[in-house]
Amino acid sequence: MKKIILFLASFIFMQCVTAQQAYHYTIDLNHVVKDKVKVTLVMEGIAQDELTFAFARVVPGTYSISNYGRFIEHLTAYDAAGKKVKYKRIDVNQYQFSTAKSIAKIDYWVNDSWDDKDVKQFLFQPGGSSIRPTSFVINNFCFLGFVVGKTELPFDLTIEKPTEMYGSTFLTKVRSSNTSDVYKARNFFELTDNPILYCAPDTTSFYVNNSKINIAVFSELKQVTSKQVASYLRPLGFALQRFFTVLPTDAYTFIYFFDDANNQPKSSRAGLSAGWGALEHHHCSLYYLEDMQQEAGVKSMVYDVSSHEFLHILTPLNLHSEEIEYFDFLNPKMSEHLWMYEGVTEYFANLVQVRDTLLSVAQFVSAMKQKLNESDMYKNMSMTDMSKSVLTTEGQEQYLSVYSKGALIAFCLDIKMQELSGGKNSLKDVMMNLAKMYGPLKPFKDADLINNIVSFSDPSIRQFYEKYVIGKEDIPYGEYFAKLGINYEENVAAKRYVFGAYSFDSHAMKFMNVGDNVLHVMTGDELVSVNGNKVDGGNLEQIFTDYFFMNTKYVHLTLQVMRNGSLVTLDGDCVSRPYTIKKLVELMEKPTDAQLALRKSVLGKVE
């Protein structure tokens, strides 16, 4: 009798195992046809006759409609005998099957997004895909589909690859050989949360205490290496460790694609919606940056972008809403706290650096001034309403405000929290408490977040939220900045000093369309130094602002320019013109002891 029971139990167990539904995908990188690769899916345990097979319409972190199905071609389903299974295409992303039980496999071709010429639907490169002879950027949501209602099933992914290529990713690699790699993921979210870069191996790793930092680099022009990038990230990593005390992750992967600027489609050069930048994920981030020789330029670029993305280890990795945890890839409900995910992260990216040795107080103030100017591009609005409606046309027009106005909200909120607590409680403390309360596996309800922030700070913080985050009121920046000994004024009459009409090629800092000018600059001159300050990629923007675009201090200029291969010195006085400074932000000459004390509490130092 016992033998019979054991046999029946074993039989039932085997039936459960064989009936388990799972996705088995293969991407073939060895046979590329016109920048397209073939993908094959074997789907186990399909129990229903009718199903919809789909590709993502929206993915986390992009805040826009992408319609990845538009890059899929020649989708074909087959039964076990090799006969085609019919389907109806519902829209650009969805395929409806009425005889799904007969499906043995599905295959299709994937076109890369980086070569897409559709200006209106141009896809931000870090959220897209690239298929080139020497490299493959695989954002899995660009390549892999799912059955609607079945995104929680496990996935295994086999990449058939050229022998000289190595796959860099945070995704779990369970098997590897010279010709293929096999990855596993718990569900579609984990799969798509981990991009993969295939190219000739160039990787470097280092530890920040017990956290392993992995770096992978592809450089189209072979001008940037992973070792070089690691030398920039190491001090940033330790600055983050000092900021958090302990990094809230055991491991993190940076994936960098440095591209020739000539490869960027013209549409991406024209605006902020596409081009150089990055996309964050829970344990990694993917970067699309310009390949250049200027080390200072590469360092500045890596710092500016990576500090922000790395800080997403706090949110959304350890603090995120149910809308993110249970993301609907076709018709998502967006969280009302986008302002926090991006705005607080952007503020912390600057705060980490000024609290360490990577930024001076003056540089931090300059960064906040820039965000004030950028925030003028957007209308007054409720940040929570904008966050919820970010996928609408109006929301898309306003959402970049999270990086300017959102960061300023976080800055002022931090000032208020520290003032109320006498420096004993900060925005960082509140965010860390929230991260402990929830963590990576427990999402919060959107409606609960502000109540929790208030509970970890002060009751008066609720009024701040109601006015400036939920409401549309402008923050009185002058009042808040003055608490730190920072002067803020609007529409200040001043003199601006110019030497004539000119424009710049911002990529190379070359003068263009100069017209008549007192310094006798010629079109094509490349700026080398101004008043003894040598120009490099790290200070180019600041020099342009201080000496040319917003020159309110320097009457006399001495320029060194490179002209036809020769170094030429140009010297002369600028012409005074009346000018109105829309927003004057500068450190006070004689701040009070109380202002300096609060400045040190918030920024970590006085200067």
The residues near 400 (Cβ < 8 Å, ≥ 6 apart) are 272, 377, 378
102 neighbors 84 (Cβ within 8 angstroms): no
Question: What pLDDT was estimated at residue 441?
Answer: 86
Q: Which residues pair with 349 in a beta bridge?
A: none
In a domain, 578, yes or no: yes
For residues 380 and 526, membership in a common domain is answered with: no
CATH number, position 270: 3.30.2010
For residues 320 and 456, membership in a common domain is answered with: yes
DSSP-derived secondary structure letter, 126: G
Question: What pLDDT was estimated at residue 275?
Answer: 66
Range of the domain at 444: 314-485+588-607
In a domain, 8, yes or no: no
In a domain, 11, yes or no: no
For residues 465 and 544, membership in a common domain is answered with: no
Per-residue buried b or exposed e for 357-379, using 16+ beta carbons within 10 Å of the residue's own CB: eebebeebbbbbbebbebbeebe
Question: What pLDDT was estimated at residue 270?
Answer: 39
In a domain, 207, yes or no: yes
520 neighbors 570 (Cβ within 8 angstroms): yes
For residues 449 and 467, membership in a common domain is answered with: yes
Q: Which residues pair with 215 in a beta bridge?
A: 204, 254
Instruction: Choose the final residue of a domain: 199, 219, 241.
Output: 199
For residues 35 and 167, membership in a common domain is answered with: yes
CATH number, position 543: 2.30.42.10
3 state SS of 498: strand
51 neighbors 97 (Cβ within 8 angstroms): yes
For residues 444 and 541, membership in a common domain is answered with: no
CA 361 to chain centre: 25
Block means of pLDDT (10 residues each) for the chain, length 607 residues?
40 44 96 96 85 95 92 96 96 96 95 83 90 97 96 96 98 96 96 97 95 96 96 92 87 96 62 68 93 82 87 86 92 92 94 92 94 92 93 90 96 97 96 93 93 95 96 95 96 89 73 88 92 81 83 92 94 90 92 97 93
In a domain, 193, yes or no: yes
| CB neighbourhood size of 341 (10 A) | 25
In a domain, 6, yes or no: no
For residues 461 and 357, membership in a common domain is answered with: yes
Question: What pLDDT was estimated at residue 10?
Answer: 40
Measured CA to CA in angstroms, residue 186 lies from 23, 317, 405, 436 at distances of 11, 16, 37, 24
In a domain, 308, yes or no: no
Give the span between the Cα atoms of 239 and 302, in whole angstroms.
15
In a domain, 15, yes or no: no
For residues 218 and 263, membership in a common domain is answered with: yes
For residues 191 and 210, membership in a common domain is answered with: no
The residues near 30 (Cβ < 8 Å, ≥ 6 apart) are 160, 161, 162
For residues 125 and 239, membership in a common domain is answered with: no
Strand residues in 141-202 grouped as ranges (E)? 146-147, 155-160, 166-168, 172-176, 180-185, 196-199
For residues 269 and 190, membership in a common domain is answered with: no
For residues 393 and 423, membership in a common domain is answered with: yes
CATH number, position 351: 1.10.390.10
Based on the structure, what is the number of domains in the chain?
Answer: 4
Question: What pLDDT was estimated at residue 537?
Answer: 65
Which residue, among 354, 261, 274, has the nearest Cα to 307 in the 3D structure? 354
Q: Which amino acid is at 70?
A: R
486 neighbors 570 (Cβ within 8 angstroms): no
